[in-house]
């Protein structure tokens, strides 16, 4: 049985990926700080240890480690958001090079914040990475760590993941709750675009990338059709049978975000990102449209 190692596998994305890969017949082992199950192995995400043996001759190692960006933006949390991603990535790179028979493939998470905020021009994997800000700096540091080691015997894939829609985590449960409370109106101008991906398509993409051994490098992980904030919230209201939603003006969002210590850019910046390389290589999305995705998740 082929083995796949997931670092950060106990979270929202990792749990879904473990279930999917196990159903495909893989032995999935999880690197975690607090192991509780037989397939969970202790690591600290910073230093080499006995866990490195798990990487020997593995089919793949998939790194999803990182403190949530939906956190209060205190200086301490900012440092943890960066270090949890950079340290774990550097640690895995060193571990892979220490293996006699390294994993065939290393897939590492990243983010799409690195692309400019734009309403008009879709951002694909070949677009300029010119955006400035804290989240953008996080992505740059994360990707720099991924490419610090050459890992010549391991295929390397970088996933620039956009907003993941699922019922068990991420942004959707909070947005669903706000909509139920009548606060499901447009946020800011409502014109800003949101690139998104259904959780089921995300795990299918990873399956696709594992199976197609000629593919490597950067892939945008999002559905083909970005949606405006206004349309997204209207679709939410329609699916939840809410006849109204109070709009949230930009100044109020910025004030609320400041009081909560959360980065307002998560809501207000336009993420017009498209999955050009996935489409060019023949990946078929199960949920290419936001209506399909939300209908599936809410039914």
- The closest of 157, 154, 89 to 125, measured between CA atoms, is 157
Q: Is the pLDDT of residue 270 over 80?
A: yes
**How much is the average pLDDT of 25-38?**
96
User: Distance between CA 64 and CA 60 in Å, rounded?
Assistant: 13
Interval 188-210 mean pLDDT: 98
Whether 246 has a pLDDT exceeding 70, the answer reads yes
Closest CA to 33 of 99, 109, 82, 88: 88
Helix (H, G, I), strand (E, B) or coil at 159: strand
Q: What is the pLDDT of residue 196?
A: 98
Looking at the predicted structure, is the pLDDT value of residue 71 above 90?
A: no
Architecture in CATH for domain 3-298: 3-Layer(aba) Sandwich (3.40)
Domain residues of the chain, as ranges?
3-298
Q: DSSP letters along 64-105, please?
A: -----SSS---HHHHHHHHHHHHHHHHHHHHHHHH-SS--SE
Q: What is the pLDDT of residues 106-145, one digit of tens each?
A: 999 999 999 999 999 999 999 988 778 889 999 999 999 9
């Amino acid at each position: 049985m082929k083995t796949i190692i997931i670092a950060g596998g106990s979270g929202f994305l990792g749990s879904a990926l473990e279930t999917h890969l196990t159903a495909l017949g893989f032995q999935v082992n999880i690197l975690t700080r607090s192991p509780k199950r037989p397939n969970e192995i202790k690591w600290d995400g910073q230093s080499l240890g006995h866990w490195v043996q798990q990487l020997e001759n593995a089919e793949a190692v998939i790194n999803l480690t990182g403190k949530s960006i939906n956190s209060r933006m205190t200086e301490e949390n900012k440092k943890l958001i960066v270090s949890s991603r950079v340290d774990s990535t550097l640690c895995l790179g060193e571990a892979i090079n220490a293996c006699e028979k390294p994993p065939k493939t290393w897939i590492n998470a990243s983010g799409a914040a690195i692309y400019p905020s734009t309403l008009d021009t879709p951002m694909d994997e070949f677009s300029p990475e010119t955006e400035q800000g804290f989240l953008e700096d996080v992505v740059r540091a994360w990707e720099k760590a991924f490419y610090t080691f050459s890992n010549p015997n391991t295929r390397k894939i970088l996933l620039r993941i956009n907003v993941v829609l699922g019922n068990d985590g991420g942004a959707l449960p909070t947005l669903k709750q706000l909509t139920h409370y009548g606060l499901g109106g447009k946020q800011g101008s409502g014109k800003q675009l949101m690139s998104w991906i259904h959780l089921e398509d995300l795990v299918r993409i990873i399956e696709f990338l594992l199976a197609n051994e000629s593919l490597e490098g950067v892939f945008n992980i999002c559905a083909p059709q970005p949606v405006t904030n206004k349309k997204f919230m209207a679709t939410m209201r329609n699916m939840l049978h809410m006849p109204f939603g109070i709009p949230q003006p930009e100044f109020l969002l910025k004030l609320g975000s400041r009081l909560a210590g959360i980065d307002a850019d998560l809501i207000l910046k336009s993420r017009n990102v498209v999955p050009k390389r996935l489409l060019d290589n023949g990946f078929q999305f199960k949920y290419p449209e936001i209506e399909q995705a939300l209908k599936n998740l809410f039914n």
